[in-house]
Copies of this chain bind each other. A is one copy, B any other.
């Protein structure tokens, strides 16, 4: 680049000072972190963000040639977004300002001339105000313009290392010369020791400093720039004072970029005609008894211009890879770990929601919520798909069937391969395939038959049914949201009872041929009798659920439905569930409104009319699934109660009080009749 002489040029006869540029080096982790910050913190904000970076001394680099054929790098990585950094011995901090555009057009529209000019003016202000004396790190800063395309993982960026232009800087004599031309090796060694101690006290501001050398003893003293005036005042004919700085240059004869603003500082602060500069390139650790890389430069500042802010020009935009002024682009699609990318990308839409539409959306809560799908068929697969889109990452499936040939066209977690030979269990297959869509899913399938009232138990089945009951209950207890998506009325009974008993949130979806109902069961406050809570699936019924499956023709068994019904009911179930989840508070006994809109108790829909109807239904105090009598008996007698209900659904009507109510109603009817006869 323009500012950099050919590396390896070894003529010592230079008279005009040039500087080695900084070259930016961005670790992949920086882009990954930027993406995350953009998604989760910055969102649409374009306010400049303070970041940090580091540059190193060339000391540790291989020294086979006098000029190391590597650039002086400023590194940024994921740590650049933190306030501070643990620094290596040869690493120095450089502060930066990140300006991230929302669109590539915005990026192009950045007024680069003004941005760097503003940075230069601010720097000049800081020099003049003395801010740079107390905080020398202000002399060495960078700017970074970025546009991060989070969808394609392409990043456009442009670095600037703003430098005030002083015009030509001349050198006294034929300098630079190695520091060991002036200092004996042991004295230089003790200088490095002293610098090391100095740096340990204030690492952040240690890149610029003053060195006073006792001409007689060769003893070096390191002081801060704030102390420099004193040092200069104390300067005797017996001492020499050097302006020292940590020099990242890898060129033998040319200092690095940080000297530019340092010279401006020296020029503006001290109005000196000349200054001796120590370009410190070694550390106490790296410099043992070998040749030193540090050099001394005697600069003449008489021709320096740019005294005032108005005339000071600033330069420093980095060249692109073609060596021309321009932005750089990096495509990290193939660099990022696919699984990691998949994980972060899967949440992309969700994160974007928080930018504008739903700032309060608790995506963390969604990522942690455990969802249980009772039924892994048309509804189960579709609900899981929508939950996936909502960032739900923990889904457990329950089903007792195997994937059949007719399933894949309607059940979007299965394909033809899964159905061959009818060997694959639906629950397990759904869980496995969910992970194929989103590898970060936590998902498993359980082959459980939900016991159903009216499906009379044989003695031989009791052990299996007990196990199924236990497993079902333990799954319900260990999950946050229960989805009831089975294909018969009676299979919904036991989960309804269990959820009522354990105060679990249950979302229920059921399909007719061209109708659908989606509802959230009322959540009981288990501590008290509550008859005002919202109803359950069975609250409208005056008969107990019973065997409706056995004697049904194929079209009744298969719950023949219009294909559009399931995706609609499933999406509504998922949306209702997310709304409920965002509510956080249990119980949610009232029709309410949340961040996402209304949270109805039930939604009934018709495809014939293209109609949805949000409605509310209160709990029925003689309900065969959620009434106090039933729930208390379940909590008290557990499986004994369940088995009795399975064998005799009518008994459910007795204990729920339904029978008594019916008899009373009939008695009233008879009485009416009798009175009419009168």
A338 to B338, CA, bound (A): 34
**Interface residue A608 (Cβ < 8 Å from any Cβ of B):** yes
In the complex, the chain B residue whose C-beta lies closest to that of A570 is B567
Docked-complex contact B574 and A563, CB < 8 angstroms: yes
Instruction: For chain A, residues 513 to 571, give those with C-beta under 8 angstroms from any C-beta of chain B.
Output: 513-514, 550-555, 557-558, 560-568, 570-571
The distance from the CB of A437 to the nearest CB of chain B, in whole angstroms, is 5
**Interface residue A421 (Cβ < 8 Å from any Cβ of B):** yes
The distance from the CB of A355 to the nearest CB of chain B, in whole angstroms, is 5
A355 — which chain B residues lie within 8 A by C-beta? Answer: 553-555, 560
Docked-complex contact B405 and A385, CB < 8 angstroms: no
Instruction: For chain A, residues 371 to 424, give those with C-beta under 8 angstroms from any C-beta of chain B.
Output: 382, 385-390, 404-406, 408-410, 412, 414-417, 419-422
Contact-size category for A = 35 or more
In the complex, the chain B residue whose C-beta lies closest to that of A518 is B610
A333 to B439, CA, bound (A): 32
Instruction: In the A-B complex, list the 8 residue pairs whose CB atoms are closest, starting with the nearest.
Output: A389-B563, A597-B608, A345-B405, A564-B571, A345-B406, A564-B575, A102-B553, A352-B555
Question: Which of B389, B438, B568, B598 is in CB contact (< 8 Å) with A416?
Answer: B438
Docked-complex contact B409 and A437, CB < 8 angstroms: yes
> Given A405-B346, A412-B412, is A597 in contact with B514 using a C-beta cutoff of 8 Å?
yes
Docked-complex contact A598 and B608, CB < 8 angstroms: yes
**Interface residue A111 (Cβ < 8 Å from any Cβ of B):** no
Question: Which of B357, B416, B564, B598 is in CB contact (< 8 Å) with A342?
Answer: B416
**Interface residue A356 (Cβ < 8 Å from any Cβ of B):** yes
A566 to B334, CA, bound (A): 29
Contact with B along A101-121 (1 / 0, CB 8 A): 011111000000000000000
The distance from the CB of A43 to the nearest CB of chain B, in whole angstroms, is 8
**Interface residue A215 (Cβ < 8 Å from any Cβ of B):** no
Contact with B along A586-603 (1 / 0, CB 8 A): 000000000011101001
**Interface residue A151 (Cβ < 8 Å from any Cβ of B):** yes
The distance from the CB of A389 to the nearest CB of chain B, in whole angstroms, is 3
The distance from the CB of A626 to the nearest CB of chain B, in whole angstroms, is 23
Docked-complex contact A567 and B421, CB < 8 angstroms: no
A302 — which chain B residues lie within 8 A by C-beta? Answer: none
The distance from the CB of A399 to the nearest CB of chain B, in whole angstroms, is 14
The distance from the CB of A313 to the nearest CB of chain B, in whole angstroms, is 32
**Interface residue A584 (Cβ < 8 Å from any Cβ of B):** no
- Scoring A514, A553, A555 by chain B CB atoms within 10 A of each residue's CB, the highest score goes to A555
Seen from chain A, the residues whose Cβ lies within 8 Å of a Cβ on chain B are 38, 44, 102-106, 149-153, 333-334, 338-339, 341-342, 344-346, 348-349, 352-353, 355-357, 382, 385-390, 404-406, 408-410, 412, 414-417, 419-422, 433, 436-439, 513-514, 550-555, 557-558, 560-568, 570-572, 574-575, 596-598, 600, 603, 605-612, 614
Docked-complex contact A406 and B436, CB < 8 angstroms: no
> Given A341-B405, A553-B102, A603-B610, is A422 in contact with B352 using a C-beta cutoff of 8 Å?
no
In the complex, the chain B residue whose C-beta lies closest to that of A109 is B551
> Given A438-B408, A558-B348, is A103 in contact with B150 using a C-beta cutoff of 8 Å?
no
A412 to B412, CA, bound (A): 7
Docked-complex contact A346 and B415, CB < 8 angstroms: no
Docked-complex contact B610 and A386, CB < 8 angstroms: no
A574 to B409, CA, bound (A): 14
A414 to B438, CA, bound (A): 10
The distance from the CB of A558 to the nearest CB of chain B, in whole angstroms, is 6
A513 — which chain B residues lie within 8 A by C-beta? Answer: 353, 357
Docked-complex contact A406 and B608, CB < 8 angstroms: no
A566 to B386, CA, bound (A): 9
Question: Which of B390, B550, B566 is in CB contact (< 8 Å) with A105?
Answer: B550
A555 — which chain B residues lie within 8 A by C-beta? Answer: 44, 352-353, 355-357
A612 to B406, CA, bound (A): 30
Docked-complex contact B575 and A607, CB < 8 angstroms: yes
In the complex, the chain B residue whose C-beta lies closest to that of A148 is B554
Question: Which of B149, B150, B386, B553 is in CB contact (< 8 Å) with A564?
Answer: B386
- Scoring A44, A353, A609 by chain B CB atoms within 10 A of each residue's CB, the highest score goes to A353
A349 — which chain B residues lie within 8 A by C-beta? Answer: 406, 409-410, 558, 560-561, 563
A571 — which chain B residues lie within 8 A by C-beta? Answer: 563-568, 571
In the complex, the chain B residue whose C-beta lies closest to that of A420 is B338
Docked-complex contact B410 and A436, CB < 8 angstroms: no
Docked-complex contact A386 and B597, CB < 8 angstroms: no
Question: Which of B342, B596, B606, B607 is in CB contact (< 8 Å) with A562?
Answer: B596
Please give 17 more A-B residue pairs, beta carbons under 8 A apart, in addition to A152-B422, A388-B409, A417-B436.
A44-B553, A338-B405, A338-B421, A355-B555, A382-B567, A389-B563, A390-B563, A409-B437, A412-B412, A416-B436, A416-B437, A514-B597, A564-B571, A564-B572, A575-B607, A597-B608, A597-B610
A408 — which chain B residues lie within 8 A by C-beta? Answer: 342, 346, 437-438
> Can you report 5 residue pairs joining A to B where beta carbons are below 8 Å apart?
A333-B421, A353-B513, A386-B567, A597-B606, A598-B610
